[in-house]
A and B are shown apart, each in its own frame.
Chain A
Amino acid sequence: MTDTPDPYKGYRGRGRELLKRLGARVWSDCTITTDTGEFSGIILPRSEQADDRHIVLKMNTGYNIGIAVERIQSIVEHDYKEAHYKIPEQEFPFDPAKPNVTLLGTGGTIASRLDYRTGAVIPAFSPGELYGACPELADICNLETKKLFGVFSENMGPEQYLITAREIAKQIENGVAGIIIGHGTDTLHHTAAAMSYMLQDLPVPVILVGSQRSSDRPSSDAAFNLQCAAQSAAHGELAEVLVCMFGPTSDRYNLLHRGTRVRKMHSSYRSTFRTLGDTPLATVTPEAPPEPLRRDFTRRDPERKLNLYDVFEERVAIVYYYPNMQPDIIESLIDNGYKGIVIAGTGLGHVNKPLYEPLRKACESGVQVYMTVQTLWGYAQMYVYDTGRDLMELGVVPLANMLPEAAYIKLGWALGMSDDAERVKELMLTPVNGEITEREQYNAYVVLQGGLPEVDAFLHDHWR
């Protein structure tokens, strides 16, 4: 198959016409004559979302400018300079004394370069590329990489969960010391939950990691995260599915969060991942193995036998309740053959009266309906008020303090595990790894309120 690159990459309509007519193309090093004078530089590909009225030129100062198509009189090509984006690749050194770690790529921006056509970030991925971008990794472990797929976080789904879980099982079979999964951050916690249920009794760490500032930026958190993840996978004592991301927004340490209790809490902060309703398991820095913050975690044990449960039922939905929600929302799920519904209810786990009827219908027709809380912290305690008791009467099952996303993934997994309603319910109510906790300790809910003198004093005295 020959791959002829489009010489007018990204240009459409009038812009494309003009380039064709004047015999110019993308990567032409040229002089463009307009009604106000000449511009020299290299014609760059244009973003496909941009209009068709400008040609983009990279000038020798490095700046890009857009020149209006209607003003261009001629283009003279002097040279042709296609850019080849390549992260300098150097062979990743192998040291028999160091643990072997496999990095599985799913997409995301752990190490990347820019694609000028779409402005998108292309992941750099081979060990050689990673070594070129972050040579410190070689001080921590030996690294193998495998690209599973290149999708953005929002496109991760059941198919990708299954492939990832099976690949991890295979790698563990091969005897790696730990596994890193590079992942976009938006749905990192969904994948972390899925891996937690699918991969039980892990002998070694499975570390999910992403970055909030892509590595095409000097201030990127990617290299720091990657090194912390490598420390955790290669040398960490915690053999669980863990998310490894910034603790504070400063380059100080990362936190290791249990895969079932973690959630992305800010659209752009580095320290966006937080453990909810519990405390994180450990801190880790690029220089040293993780330091546990608590003792109740599963320890590394290469002899332990992994159990892989690679199943997932896709017809599951999450319903975020809002006041005045109409019955047809639930009815349409029943009509469309959904097998499970997770409600994120208000307060202790409530919805309004008009939903009772369709919920009864759902439960009676065998749809599994579970209740979580949209407050994210705290338990669904439906026995406290009549509303809750009525719902339980209908067959809605409260999921204690399971996070809505963790519950959604778990229900898909549990329905994959069994067709038997009671068995599914049993799976749902029996925690695999902390998705339900028996108690909420005093420091499991800490959302400091800025503006209070004592909180501001704390923020002043600690790295943000």
Chain B
Amino acid sequence: MNRPDPHTNPHPQVRDLALARELIVHPESWTPELFRKMHFMGGLEIHQQVATRRKLFCRCPAVPMPHEPAAARVYRHMRPTLSEMGTYDGTALMEFKTKKNVIYELIDPVSCTYEMDDTPPFLIDEEALRKSLAIALMMNCKIIDELHVARKQYLDGSIPTGFQRTAIIGLDGWIPYRGRRIRIRQISLEEDSCREVNDVGHEITFRTDRLGFPLLEVVTEPDARDPWELAGICRLLGDIMRSSGMVRRGMGASRQDVNVSIGGSTRIENKGVSRYGYIPRLTCVEALRHKALLELRDELRGRGLNSIEAERHVLDGAELGFAKRSVGLAVLRGWRGLLDWRTQPDFHFVDELRGVVRVVACLDRFPYVYCEHDRADWALPTERWSELRRRMNVGDDDELALVVGPENDVATALDEIIDRCTQALTEAVPKQTRQALADERLTRPDGRRLSGVQTDFERVLPGADRMYPDTDHPPRAVSRDELGRIDDALPEPLWERRSAYRAAGLPVDVVRTLSRERRPAELFEELVTECPGVDPVLIGVTLVQTARHLRREGLLADIGPELARPVFAAVEAGLLAADAVPRLLAEYGARLRGEPGLDHGALIEEILEDYRRLPDDELRGVVSQVHRAADGEGPREPDKRGRYLMGRVRERIGWRAPGRKLEELLAAGLAKA
């Protein structure tokens, strides 16, 4: 089906800015304004695991087991199949060309014969469906009346069936951001794929523990106008999902793909962004790569090249110093110097070739492709190049790319090199799925560190042609009643709660935590309703800041309702001073730690009694006694004396009176004296 990509950048290439090769090496020039001028468009695909007991299409427990050794292994291959419309998908064919042997490590306690693709799927997990529908409603989506499970083909082996079972559950939603609406294109519920363990040459290994976890895919429209907005939207979406209390957290529980285009380029999908923090830099780098590739096309046209003229030769490896390997040489007419065209901070156009060659031709030895501009210690000596140029009769205007590997793979590699160079002229920025090279992957295969997050080729961007209906599943209707029940149970939207919390005067960190963490937020709402006389700030600060402090001190893991309720009821009844609350909780935690067997309820009662607020007349009596006893003792300077007296009172009554009241009484006494 030839339909426009919904993320089509309608803007033309902008040429009146500095050249990409200058901008790339000057990160200080990367500002929101720069990218807006380039007509940057950014969208997100967020993948978030839903917290469920079971996997989506089998009854295995949904428990990550990253360290469990494999119980057994399965060896498979993937073949492309026909699409529903009767054609083969381009990605599918490309992946088939790579002829990979796929190995699955079966992680016994969490994978069954479904993960082995030896048992058909079971019906969709209802818990996952209910929670996903709730999140789709939170993002204001139109819910699909009847869900149809589809198969999204992945021939890279990441799913043993060769396809991911997925169903759209919601469409056309929105979330508010900086006074406007960010449009949600669709939300689907799908099974998570395997985790890759190893990928060398023609063999790739996957683990099956994560496989089949319910995974929400939230796709936004390309509404971000600069890389920093993209990061902000990503963070907001993450907070909204987290605030539902229905999603899994921790390592690998959520992944973001960012879709980037600029005026004149097309959408490129960048996978594997594991942290929000990487998004702005990654996105800047990718947008500038587009700019660099557009400018490369300008350069090629400027040289009068309207098509690619290339020669391919397969040479004897031994002669060139590569024993037992074939050497492929591509002669690119008129391209002199252009493999050295800078595309990213550490990468040049030759690295674009390295990416496709590594993936498609399965070459497994870095650097895959050699050119005359290589500067690393593995670079081929200049004499070798001159000799090649002489021998192959290469003109001064021509550029050379050399690949080394097994004979068959070298032939594929030469095809890919010439294809990629052709794309430089035709599409400038070819449609691709790219991988973010971040955190642990910041080291290049040659051992050099990258200067920061950059992107590398992963595969050709798949089209709609890879979607097939799943004949193993009947459609699942979502009734109005069912939706009504889910809707009724939803918390107030995150953004509305945020403004309410702010209006109540809660500190910023408390607003943030309460708006995305379901449990403390619910407790907060309950306590505020139950104790109208207590300052909501005290409740919020206690549940967030005090709780955090006590957790760090190792005194108390959590402030739950069984503890918070009697404490705030005592404050409400005037039996407990507000400023005594943190001390009381600390004491509670300390005593419990010392004697874990204590009855929790009785302990709270007991401590509350110890902290019980003194009646005003009793308090006055204590204050005047302290005044009398301190007569002639302690510091004289008024401020110091105040603190001294306060200390003496506290010695006698602890926290059984609010500080402000004591100050008041002490001040009155000092004045008298």
Chain A residues, CB < 8 A from B161: 217-219
Give the contacts of A51-96 with B (CB-CB under 8 A): 51, 53-54, 56, 58-68, 71, 81, 83-88
Report chain B residues within 8 Å CB of A113.
82, 86
A216 on the interface (CB 8 Å rule)? yes
Residues B75 and A268 in contact, CB atoms below 8 Å apart: no
- Looking at B139-147, B402-410, B566-574, the stretch in contact with chain A turns out to be B139-147
Checking B74, B85, B471 against A463 with a beta-carbon cut-off of 8 angstroms, the contacting residue is B74
Residue of A nearest to B106 (CB): A464
| Cα distance, A84 to B155, chains bound together (Å) | 24
**In the assembled complex, how far is the CB of residue B20 from the closest CB belonging to chain A, in whole angstroms?**
32
Residues of A within 8 A of B172 (CB): 37
- Interface check B1, CB cutoff 8 A: yes
Closest to A88 in B: B88
- Interface pick from A17-25, A247-255, A410-418: A247-255
Which of B111-119, B288-296, B587-595 forms part of the interface with chain A?
Answer: B111-119
User: Chain B residues with Cβ under 8 A from A269's Cβ?
Assistant: 113, 118-119
Determine whether the beta carbon of A116 is less than 8 Å from that of B469. Answer: yes
Partner of A54, one of B72, B145, B155, B166: B145
For residue B163, CB closer than 8 A to chain A, the reply is: yes
Q: In the bound complex, how far is the Cα of B217 from the Cα of A177, in angstroms?
A: 53
A contact patch SS: loop
B452-482: which have CB < 8 Å to A?
463-469, 471, 474-475, 477
CA distance A116 to B151 in the complex (A): 14
> In the complex, what distance in Å separates the CA atom of A212 from the CA atom of B161?
12
Count of B interface residues, CB-CB < 8 Å: 61
Given the interface contacts A54-B475, A218-B78, A249-B74, does A62 sit within 8 Å of B467 by beta carbon?
Answer: yes
B151: chain A residues within 8 A (beta carbon): 217
Complex interface residues of chain B between 71 and 114 (CB less than 8 A to chain A):
71-82, 84-86, 88, 92, 106, 113
Chain B residues positioned under 8 Å from A51 (CB to CB): 477
Q: Is the CB of B84 within 8 A of A114?
A: yes
For A300, the chain B residues whose CB sits under 8 A away are none
Do A61 and B464 touch (CB < 8 A)?
Answer: yes
Docked CA distance A250–B101 (Å): 11
By beta carbon, the residue of chain B nearest A462 is B72
Chain A window 369-405, contacts with chain B (Cβ cutoff 8 Å), 1 for yes, 0 for no = 0000000000000000000000000000000000000
Chain A residues with CB under 8 Å of B167's CB are 63
Q: Which of B42-79 contact A (CB under 8 A)?
A: 70-79
Asked if A63 contacts B467 (CB within 8 A), the reply is yes
Chain B residues near A329 (CB-CB < 8 A) = none
Is A213 in the interface zone, CB < 8 Å from B? yes
**Given A119-B471, A219-B162, A84 and B75 touching (CB < 8 A)?**
no
* Also in contact, A268 and B145, with CB within 8 A (given A50-B475, A60-B1, A60-B464): no
* Contact in complex: B116, A249 (CB < 8 Å): yes
Which of A212, A219, A460 has the most B CB atoms < 10 Å from its CB? Answer: A219
Contact with A along B613-631 (1 / 0, CB 8 A): 0000000000000000000
Contacts of B162 in A (CB 8 A): 217-219
User: For residue A252, which residue of chain B has the nearest CB?
Assistant: B75
Tell me which residues across on chain B come within 8 A of A4, comparing CB atoms: none
Residue among B88, B153, B163, B471 making CB contact with A114, cutoff 8 Å:
B471
Q: Mark A186-218, 1 if CB is under 8 A from B, else 0.
A: 000000000000000000000000001101111
Question: Is A268 a contact partner of B120 (Cβ separation < 8 A)?
Answer: yes
Residues of A within 8 A of B86 (CB): 83-86, 113
A223 at interface by CB-CB < 8 Å: yes
- Minimum CB–CB distance from B186 to chain A (whole Å) comes to 7
Docked Cα-Cα span, A309 to B379, in Å, equals 74
Chain A residues close to B by CB (< 8 Å): 36-37, 39, 44, 47, 49-51, 53-54, 56, 58-68, 71, 81, 83-88, 113-114, 116, 119-121, 212-213, 215-220, 223-224, 249-252, 266, 268-270, 456, 459-460, 463-464
Which 5 pairs, one residue from A and one from B, show the smallest C-beta to C-beta distance? A66-B146, A218-B162, A62-B467, A62-B464, A250-B75
27 A-B residue pairs with Cβ-Cβ distance under 8 Å, sorted by A, are: A37-B142, A44-B469, A60-B3, A61-B186, A62-B464, A62-B466, A63-B188, A64-B148, A64-B469, A65-B148, A65-B171, A66-B145, A67-B144, A67-B145, A84-B86, A85-B82, A85-B84, A113-B86, A114-B471, A215-B79, A215-B81, A218-B153, A219-B162, A250-B73, A251-B77, A268-B118, A270-B118
B residues with a Cβ closer than 8 A to A are 1, 3, 6, 70-82, 84-86, 88, 92, 106, 113, 116-120, 142, 144-148, 150-153, 155, 160-163, 166-168, 171-172, 186, 188, 463-469, 471, 474-475, 477
In the complex, besides A49-B474, A218-B155, 10 extra interface pairs with C-beta distance below 8 angstroms are: A44-B469, A54-B145, A59-B168, A60-B3, A66-B475, A119-B469, A218-B161, A218-B162, A219-B76, A460-B70
